[in-house]
Structure 1
Amino acid sequence: MLLLSLLAIWILVAILTYRQVALAAASSIVIIAWLVLGAITPAMLSPWLVVPLAVILVVLNVGAVRRAVLTKPVFGMLKKTMPPISATERDALEAGTTWWEKQLFSGRPDWNEFAGISLPQLTAEEQSFIDNEVSQLCALLDEWKIQNDLKDLPPEAWQFLKDKNFFGLIIPKEYGGRDFSPYAQSRIMSKIASRSGTAAVTAMVPNSLGPGELLVKYGTEEQRQRWLPGLANGTEIPCFGLTGPEAGSDAGSIPDTGIVCKGMFEGQEVVGLKLTFSKRWITLAPVATVVGLAFKVYDPEGLLGDPNKTDYGITCALIPANHPGVEIGKRHNPGSPFMNGPIYGTDVFIPVDWIIGGAAMAGKGWRMLIECLGAGRGVSLPALSTASSEMNYRMVGAYARIRRQFNTEVGKFEGVQEATAEIAATGYTLEAMRQFVTKGLETGAPSVMTAMAKYHATELMRKSVEHSMDVVGGRAIQKGPRNFLVASYHSVPVAITVEGANILTRSLMIFGQGAMRCHPFLFEEMQAMQLENPAEGLKKFDKLFTAHLGHIANNMLRTKLLGLVGGRFSSLPANADDFSKRWYQRINLLSAALASMSDIALGVLGGNLKRRELLSARLGDVHSQLFIACAILKFHSAHPRTRAEDAHAEYALTRALYIAQEALRDFADNFPMRSLACVIRFVAMPWGSIVKKPNDHLIRELGDLIMEENPVRTMLAQYLYVSHDPEDAFGRVESTYQMLLSLGPVWHAFLKAKNSGKISGATTEEQAKDAAAKNIIQPQDVSRIVDYDARRFDCLITDSFDKL
């Protein structure tokens, strides 16, 4: 009986922990249950059991005792091991907002909140702009000529960009801008990128990290009135100087300085800044009329008003490009001919009023930049990646059906389908991510979410392009105006490098910021440890740490229980259907496992986890893939159910959760405490795998679908500029594919007769006429077959040149 009673108490504690009952209430329930069981089993009331129970309850519930026995030793230990948070790190961690990624990190996503998220929609004005102005711009662009002849956009395209306010998409209407939503901006950049990556980058930069957004959010009204109308109508071309030879992804280490001093400006002595800077890789610098600049401010004479403060930190200012001392260097060559170059200056004097937001914003630059990076990381670069992957879907799928080897469409070979299935799933995934991420950006600037978007969108694009090159083969490597893949291939290194190199984004930012911003207690605990008053810090830490212990216990128990049942019986959104139910349950399990493993890693490794990048990157991968899976589920639920849609979503979800699962395995396999690592793995995956890789049947299904005019292919086309011009690199493949579709079974009947020797003739025309004479095809089909075969051959050949 005693064992049964103790088991009953253990089950009760587990239920209370799982249900997250408050500590005081849970303790009272346990005491009452213990007394009731003691009446049945007197041994429960023996001192050997009651005294330990009383000690535990007193320690947990009596604040003074808890702080002395539990919290204070932990507080002291962590204070020694946790590195101090610098002002720059604090700004980065406090900047921006959080969104759905915080729910996933909690271990218990609120699916009611998720069900209430609706994907973004275009306004009538935004849709009209995409259908008209964006399409008109695309018609002006020829990427081969831009890349190889002009080394720049054509003059008419530059003028069109200015005249139609492409540089003012984020600027409010009262200043002459269009004030479009993040989703509209993404759709615009994506459609341009489907035609010309050079034009997309040119239009992207003024609408991402740059003077426009900084002025809108932080500028004085005088600064807005001075600059925003010109930026909106294109009479001012902006660039932003952040990175340099010594500071790339580690932008906080910029060596550029601004010394506060007095100097002459427009005939008067004013307080200003003497700037010395050397910037590199600055897009639009060669054509810029106004330069945004990031530098560190030092005030040795206390001219800004605080005699005790010398080092103000990173600051942003806006400077006319023709200001004395500002030098725009020669162009860089990033592999694509968008304008990019260096900016220099030595002892350049500017008034202090040129700081964005005025003198009061000195030292606030890093936070400003972090909060404004969302446009580049969450909108522009993912838009370019999405466009590339969706064009790969359309072009490679068509080409794989047009191109034949061994009397078979190359897209029918299973080895090829392994690649084309990935291309298909990636196009679907990136569109889902684009819509989910831009919805999140409507709520603010979630820095963790946008870091995920930038890294995973550009990496998925990289893989999509590589698979596409494999499928198209020699046709893809021969440069020329016929090649529809080479521009995407050359754009990959730019995409993965700008706005923070991908390696560092994955290994340092996603989990590094995610743990701090998304964990319900960690950042506040670290702040408490750094309060100047130790007693106040301990008191605050005690409250947080007690709640944190309950959070850990809940997630560990939740992970174990969900692991045993594979996530079944866990909570779901109210609108979950038969397709999505199991995916939500698997996400619940992996979310609980992520929360548990994160707390274990933080507890064991402490501040060292920051340096154990391989481990933290894997936890970041889990977090990211759960977010991607949620984006796919939301996107899938927004469309009518078709088998094509289900197949794409199933493959994409399987891939995302498989990657998350394997990241958890790798984390456990490499965790330094081996015994604890075994426990971690067993708790989360007691039966082995939670999800397996996409199976061969699904690979073959997507390999077939990408070659068909299926609902997903049709849907993705609406986000692209699709040319039907047979003289265009993309239009040649598209128009040939459409001819093939229109022939239907006629082409296959002709080929079958030809390959079996039923018809004869030296040319396609002779063979087709013979097929018609033998009633294999209809007479009216002869010219259609001849026309298609000529177009098919033209689609396969590559360019050649007299000399290079």
Structure 2
Amino acid sequence: MLSLLAIVLLIATLMTLFYQQISRGIGSAVFVIVWLLCGFLASWLFHPLSLILLAAGVTVLNHVDLRQKFITKPVYNALAKVMPAIGDTEREAIEAGTTWFEADLFSGRPDWEKFAHIQFTSLTEEEQSFIDNEVVELCDMLDEWQIFHELRDLPEEVWDFLKHKGFFSLIIPTEYGGKAFSPYAQSRIMSKIATRSLTAAVTAMVPNSLGPGELLAEYGTQEQKDRWLPGLAKGDEIPCFGLTGPEAGSDAGAIPDTGVICKGKIDGKEVLGMRLNFAKRWITLAPVATVVGLAFKLYDPEKLLGDTEDLGITCALIPADTKGVEIGRRHYPGSPFMNGPINGKDVFVPLDAIIGGPDMAGKGWRMLIECLGAGRGVSLPALATASGEMGYRMTGAFGRIRRQFNTAVGEFEGVQEASANVAALAYTLEAYRHLVTRSLEDGAPSVVTAMAKYHATEMMRELINHGMDIAGGRGIQLGPRNFLALPYQSTPIAITVEGANILTRSLMIFGQGAMRCHPFLYDELQAIQAEDKKQGLQDFDALFFSHASHTLGNISSAIAQALASPYLSDAPGNADAFSAPWYRLINRYSAVLASTSDMALALLGGDLKRRELLSARLGDVHSQLLIACAILKYHATLPRDEANDAHAHYALRLAFSRAHDSLEAFTSNFGFFGIGRVLKRLFFPLGRPCKAQAPSDDQIRALGQMIMEPSSVRDALAEPAYISQDPEDSIGRVEATFNKLLEVEPGFLAYLKAEGKGQLEGKTVLEKLQDAARKGIINESQVEAINEYDAMRYDCLLTDAFDKDLKEVQVHAERPMI
């Protein structure tokens, strides 16, 4: 028994030393002292062999030459044989951009003081004015049914408005006539437009995300900026960017498009330039573009620029009317925004067409990676957030208006299971928008934006699917009354562009996240692959033991928090009683993520890249922790009331339950003789934490009811949206009917109850209402208002009908005689 106690004390000492990140020298001394003290409990610790082993271990760990000879060098050589080389394209992707708070979450020890100082961005007066005026005016002009099914394009006056009111210049610096709005303002603008028309939102989105405007502003020469940016800002030039093709989508390294440096003639003069051959597909705005950005592989076979023949991926900007460019045809991606192919054969352009000039030849991939943030972090999440805002409002209203079995459909528990998720996901999307756009003001965090693109669009898909389930036939039948079908039909667009979601989840989030966010991993790989092996070994020695201490510290932290949480975990100093327990839970899962990731990297090495199911699950955990941070930060910005707490609590339960599900799937499938299951027992000895359970039935019922009622959250999610008040509009009809129901509901329910019991006489609703008033069931003053509501209700539930050629809408909205 005393020997067991000694072993426990030694293990506890090691865990404490690693948990506190004590230096190697001091830690060794402390451990030796505890060993000697424990010798009084277990005499075998004083055995000569035990003491020799202790002395040998301490000496090797603390003597540089011995440590490198017996530990570091064997590990270094073994890893050098099994770790895959990092290619130039992969290295550029890893090194591009910056890291942000996601690195803290991956480290296992979030810095909550840093997080407390992160403040959500507010709109400037100019940005708010643009949203309140130009954006609202644009939304007033839009009719998505007409755009989608009649014109299959934006009306000409809308194109002119977009061009001349600055919608294409949001990211262009003010000195060139642009607006230079913040990422948050851009997101708010795009989402407000998207609540009215996805086609218009995508049209405005593209020039302000990955495209010539951003690339020029960031990398262009002064001459290029002066030449192109004023025209782009005014809308005189319409840009597109050609990256993807028939055989190269997200895999930019597979681009078959080429440019060859050679001499040619322009305006009768011989100049040094490039001969381009390319075939691009799925390029938004291509059919109407006047200037084309291109990504291609540049070669210099005659060594006209230097000694390198294969220069790599390069970005150039050329006028759309350049000889040899074929442009103007359209794809039809399910939404009628302008999208089409671009082909080029023997297109000769001067070298100064390269964005940034000849010095930027071969640096295009890094440029693209660093500029993808606007599309992944701003535009696509903005479309998802818009779907959340409108899905919340319409699903809640429709659930209260639509009745079956004399009960509002939103009160059925089966429906509430879906509607509660709609409410929580809409809340999460708005929170996530705030945090991600804030991160973009501090740099270009590629991992954060990859997370945002994947999870925001997947939440949109889930939310809209729930909305369609609740709306049923009302959501399926197309027509100008339908408030869900067009967003549903357009969801695959957001899922697919800027990197297909499967690829983003399987390869990018954890693949880049582990390399970018881990404090040691990338530097270790660089040391392993260094040409100077002696220097590489020295660098690796320091990194490897720091990495080992980091890993063991996180394992100790995860185990300690599993046994003693929340007592060993900190929360931000400004955390309140609601948020503090959730922050402590983030600490725990952060330590588990860091420990599990290091274990996977140590045992699988380069194979982890190919084990996409495993790495994707670790990426899911990482993402859900960042989502939880967004929810907590957003919750703190809203009034502390029952609605805010209920939405945040449900959303957090969803995030942590999904994080835990991913960890369980990882440990169940990791292999290695059951090590995954051992990790699960170590980190969760008492099972799944209560707060990581899926939302309870009580929470489902509460939030399912709340989405149908006025609340601070309903107002907060409506504020960024365009909510039509026109009762003839698809959105306005539901909105007006819902508002009328709130006005008359007590009397209307009393009338329905009496009608259901057969207590009322009359052939029409009005006659029965008048009879109800005579019998004192409702007040006389309520008759007209309830009758008006019932007519609105009936009209609101109708779906569009057409003539047999599907050309003319023929809806009979008058209530039948009953």
Considering the TM-score relative to the shorter chain, is it more than 0.5? yes
Contact 1:750 1:776 in 2 (8 A): yes
Amino acid at match of 1:176: G
2:48 alignment partner in structure 1: 47
Q: How does 1:608-619 map to 2 (within 5 A)?
A: 608-619=607-618
Amino acid at match of 2:571: L
Deviations for 1:733-761, whole angstroms, at most 9, x for unmatched residues?
00111111112422222222222223221
Amino acid at match of 1:267: G
Contact 2:639 2:712 in 1 (8 A): no
Calculate the aligned-residue CA RMSD, in Å: 1.4
Displacement, 1:2? Answer: 6.4
2:403 alignment partner in structure 1: 404
Contact 1:276 1:348 in 2 (8 A): yes
**SS of equivalent to 1:531:** coil
Measured in 1, the distance between the counterparts of 2:673 and 2:16 equals 29
2:209 alignment partner in structure 1: 208
Contact 2:571 2:584 in 1 (8 A): yes
**SS of equivalent to 1:168:** coil
Displacement, 1:109? Answer: 0.8
Mark the runs of 5 or more structure 2 residues left unpaired by the alignment.
Answer: 807-818
1:590 alignment partner in structure 2: 589
The alpha-carbon distance between structure 1 residues 657 and 3, as it changes in their structure 2 partners (threshold 3 A), is: closer
2:421 alignment partner in structure 1: 422
Measured in 2, the distance between the counterparts of 1:460 and 1:41 equals 57
The alpha-carbon distance between structure 1 residues 671 and 38, as it changes in their structure 2 partners (threshold 3 A), is: closer
**Does residue 507 of structure 2 align to residue 508 of structure 1?**
yes
1:352 alignment partner in structure 2: 351
1:227 alignment partner in structure 2: 228
1:438 alignment partner in structure 2: 437
Q: How does 1:280-299 map to 2 (within 5 A)?
A: 280-299=281-300
Measured in 2, the distance between the counterparts of 1:226 and 1:491 equals 36
More moved, 259-268 vs 706-715: 259-268
Displacement, 1:564? Answer: 2.1
Q: How does 1:251-400 map to 2 (within 5 A)?
A: 251-304=252-305, 306-307=306-307, 309-400=308-399
Deviations for 1:544-584, whole angstroms, at most 9, x for unmatched residues?
00100101110111111112235553111111211112211
Measured in 2, the distance between the counterparts of 1:495 and 1:59 equals 55
Contact 2:16 2:556 in 1 (8 A): no
Amino acid at match of 2:135: V
Measured in 2, the distance between the counterparts of 1:14 and 1:426 equals 39
Contact 1:318 1:356 in 2 (8 A): yes
Contact 2:330 2:339 in 1 (8 A): yes
Measured in 1, the distance between the counterparts of 2:40 and 2:390 equals 74
Amino acid at match of 2:27: A
More moved, 551-560 vs 567-576: 567-576
Measured in 1, the distance between the counterparts of 2:397 and 2:314 equals 51
**SS of equivalent to 1:167:** coil
The alpha-carbon distance between structure 1 residues 5 and 569, as it changes in their structure 2 partners (threshold 3 A), is: closer
1:711 alignment partner in structure 2: 712
2:576 alignment partner in structure 1: 577
Displacement, 1:43? Answer: 6.5
Displacement, 1:613? Answer: 0.6
**SS of equivalent to 1:674:** coil
The alpha-carbon distance between structure 1 residues 85 and 567, as it changes in their structure 2 partners (threshold 3 A), is: farther
Measured in 1, the distance between the counterparts of 2:780 and 2:12 equals 80
Measured in 1, the distance between the counterparts of 2:745 and 2:447 equals 48
Displacement, 1:371? Answer: 0.4
Contact 2:296 2:313 in 1 (8 A): yes
Amino acid at match of 1:71: T
Measured in 2, the distance between the counterparts of 1:182 and 1:723 equals 26
Amino acid at match of 2:688: S
Measured in 1, the distance between the counterparts of 2:12 and 2:330 equals 69
Measured in 1, the distance between the counterparts of 2:540 and 2:345 equals 48
**SS of equivalent to 1:342:** strand
Measured in 1, the distance between the counterparts of 2:469 and 2:282 equals 31
Mark the runs of 5 or more structure 1 residues left unpaired by the alignment.
Answer: none
Measured in 1, the distance between the counterparts of 2:463 and 2:20 equals 44
Amino acid at match of 1:11: A
2:474 alignment partner in structure 1: 475
Contact 2:560 2:568 in 1 (8 A): no
**SS of equivalent to 2:717:** helix
Contact 1:625 1:659 in 2 (8 A): yes
Measured in 2, the distance between the counterparts of 1:226 and 1:252 equals 30
Displacement, 1:80? Answer: 1.0
**SS of equivalent to 1:758:** coil
Contact 1:105 1:591 in 2 (8 A): yes
1:526 alignment partner in structure 2: 525
Contact 1:568 1:585 in 2 (8 A): no
Measured in 1, the distance between the counterparts of 2:442 and 2:480 equals 43
Measured in 2, the distance between the counterparts of 1:780 and 1:39 equals 91
Amino acid at match of 1:164: K
Measured in 2, the distance between the counterparts of 1:395 and 1:633 equals 25
Amino acid at match of 1:237: I
2:13 alignment partner in structure 1: 12
**SS of equivalent to 1:418:** helix
Measured in 2, the distance between the counterparts of 1:4 and 1:609 equals 39
1:635 alignment partner in structure 2: 634
Taking structure 1 as the reference length, what is the TM-score of the superposition? 0.98
Measured in 1, the distance between the counterparts of 2:713 and 2:390 equals 13
2:193 alignment partner in structure 1: 192
Measured in 2, the distance between the counterparts of 1:636 and 1:594 equals 25
Measured in 2, the distance between the counterparts of 1:630 and 1:56 equals 42
1:108 alignment partner in structure 2: 109
1:244 alignment partner in structure 2: 245
Displacement, 1:36? Answer: 6.1
2:127 alignment partner in structure 1: 126
More moved, 560-569 vs 622-631: 560-569
Deviations for 1:232-282, whole angstroms, at most 9, x for unmatched residues?
110000000000001011122100000011111233211111100000000
Q: How does 1:641-720 map to 2 (within 5 A)?
A: 641-690=640-689, 691-720=692-721
Amino acid at match of 2:473: G
Q: Percent identity?
A: 61
The alpha-carbon distance between structure 1 residues 664 and 25, as it changes in their structure 2 partners (threshold 3 A), is: same
More moved, 109-118 vs 183-192: 109-118
Contact 1:281 1:341 in 2 (8 A): yes
Measured in 2, the distance between the counterparts of 1:401 and 1:441 equals 39
Contact 1:567 1:588 in 2 (8 A): no
Measured in 1, the distance between the counterparts of 2:702 and 2:20 equals 43
Measured in 1, the distance between the counterparts of 2:491 and 2:333 equals 11
Measured in 2, the distance between the counterparts of 1:540 and 1:470 equals 58
Measured in 2, the distance between the counterparts of 1:6 and 1:702 equals 50
Measured in 2, the distance between the counterparts of 1:44 and 1:466 equals 64
Displacement, 1:653? Answer: 0.4
**Does residue 767 of structure 2 align to residue 766 of structure 1?**
yes
Displacement, 1:678? Answer: 1.8
Contact 1:632 1:649 in 2 (8 A): yes
Contact 2:39 2:46 in 1 (8 A): yes
Amino acid at match of 1:577: D
Amino acid at match of 1:58: T
2:746 alignment partner in structure 1: 745
2:725 alignment partner in structure 1: 724
Contact 1:210 1:240 in 2 (8 A): yes
**SS of equivalent to 1:117:** coil
Displacement, 1:493? Answer: 0.8
Deviations for 1:405-455, whole angstroms, at most 9, x for unmatched residues?
000000000010011001101100000000010011111110011000000
2:172 alignment partner in structure 1: 171
Taking structure 2 as the reference length, what is the TM-score of the superposition? 0.96
Contact 1:329 1:344 in 2 (8 A): no
Deviations for 1:631-671, whole angstroms, at most 9, x for unmatched residues?
10111111121111111111110011001001101000001
Amino acid at match of 2:609: K
Contact 2:288 2:328 in 1 (8 A): no
Measured in 1, the distance between the counterparts of 2:566 and 2:325 equals 60
